Amino acid sequence: MGKKKLMKGNEALAEAMIRAGCDAYFGYPITPQSEVIEYLSREATNRTGMVVLQAESEVAAINMIYGSAACGRRVMTTSSSPGISLMQEGLSYIAAAELPCLVANINRGGPGLGTIQPSQGDYFQATKGGGHGDYHLIVLAPSSVQEMVDYTLLGFELSEKYRCPTMLLADGAIGQMMEKVELYDQMPRKTEFPDWATTGKPKNSDRRIITSLFIQPEKMEQINLGLQRKYREIEKNEVRFQTINTDDAEYIFTGFGLGARICTKAMESGRAKGYKIGVIRPQTLYPFPVDIYSELSKKVKGILDVEMNAGQMVDDVRLAVKGNTRVEFYGRMGGIIPTPDEILENFEKIFLK
């Protein structure tokens, strides 16, 4: 590991991408994540020969990702909410064709053109598929600049292990804020590619076909069953979460990404006032850490879910809790970040009064 540096989230993400031996980045500028393509344009090609291309649209960018991922390369794109919406068609094709790639959504407030301020309004879109058909992305939720770096490498590895497109769901605040970060050393770019990759038909074996078209329903059902088997494997193997002070907790605060950090601060203030509060922070949003909620739901008096949206992850929390305990929601929308005091105040109002 290298020495610690002070870096902006988006730039740390770009640096992490280069160091992870990424072969190509295709993207289109959009606030609040344009620093990613700017940083890569300055740094990447000279250092590793990585391809960096500003596409004509997010639609084109995600299809360039499709083409290059299908050649077995380590590839990534980044965008923010409206741009991610434009990529949904491509992501559905990528999921169906089982191509590995990494996509970061630096979530801003919506719907529509919305605002350039941070939001978590794209949870549903990220975790429930997003485009057409039955599929999932693996979704990682960084809550710090350090995790932007760590999850970039993890995201590449998971996407390649399962041939499943993977998303970093961050938000405008994590993208824009500066924090201390430790970077991994430069990794070499790949020189050998998987045998499914379209690198030119091998002389003594069949050509490779990358497609999501299976016109016979029986075949299409088999493809779907295969995808579902893969998702069950991912759900079994790749759940990641963090718990803080849950051992003696009577109440749980939960949230993801930036929301989880604010929850943690609110928990600390609550503890100072004598409330036994713990925190559950899912690090993977898909697969969702169902078991930890289920387990703790039998021990606590209530769960407060805090998000920067109208209440999206709370649906998954309620499904996991299965009515074992009271689950309430507090959120702000439109680019507003709730304060720890505000969360604690609402906790007292909802659960203690």
- Give me the residues that bind another protein (CB under 8 A), please: 23-24, 26, 51, 53, 55-57, 59-61, 63-71, 73, 75, 89-90, 93, 97, 198-203, 207-213
Task: Provide, rounded to whole angstroms, the least separation between the CB of residue 46 and another protein.
Answer: 16
- Looking at beta carbons only, is 218 or 247 nearer to another protein? 218
Task: Provide, rounded to whole angstroms, the least separation between the CB of residue 19 and another protein.
Answer: 19
SS (H, E, C) 228-280: HHHHHHHHHHCCCEEEECCCCCCEEEECCHHHHHHHHHHHHHHHHCCCCEEEE
Task: Provide, rounded to whole angstroms, the least separation between the CB of residue 276 and another protein.
Answer: 52
Task: Provide, rounded to whole angstroms, the least separation between the CB of residue 55 and another protein.
Answer: 7
- Looking at beta carbons only, is 66 or 156 nearer to another protein? 66
Task: Provide, rounded to whole angstroms, the least separation between the CB of residue 282 and another protein.
Answer: 31
Please spell the DSSP secondary structure of 292-324, one letter per residue. HHHHHHTT-SEEEEEESSSSSHHHHHHHHHTTS
What is residue 52's three-state secondary structure? strand
- Looking at beta carbons only, is 101 or 153 nearer to another protein? 101
Residues with Cβ < 8 Å from 193, sequence gap 6 or more?
Answer: 71, 72, 73, 199
What is residue 43's three-state secondary structure? helix
Task: Provide, rounded to whole angstroms, the least separation between the CB of residue 6 and another protein.
Answer: 33
- Looking at beta carbons only, is 2 or 202 nearer to another protein? 202
| Residues 174 and 144: beta-carbon distance below 8 Å | yes
Residues with Cβ < 8 Å from 103, sequence gap 6 or more?
Answer: 62, 65, 76, 77, 78, 79, 84, 87, 91, 137, 165, 166, 167, 168
What is residue 12's three-state secondary structure? helix
- Looking at beta carbons only, is 41 or 212 nearer to another protein? 212
- Looking at beta carbons only, is 63 or 264 nearer to another protein? 63
Please spell the DSSP secondary structure of 165-206, one letter per residue. -EEEEEEHHHHH-EEEEEPPPPPPPPSS--TTS-SS--TTSP
Task: Provide, rounded to whole angstroms, the least separation between the CB of residue 231 and another protein.
Answer: 22
- Looking at beta carbons only, is 199 or 245 nearer to another protein? 199
Structure tokens at 240: 């990641």
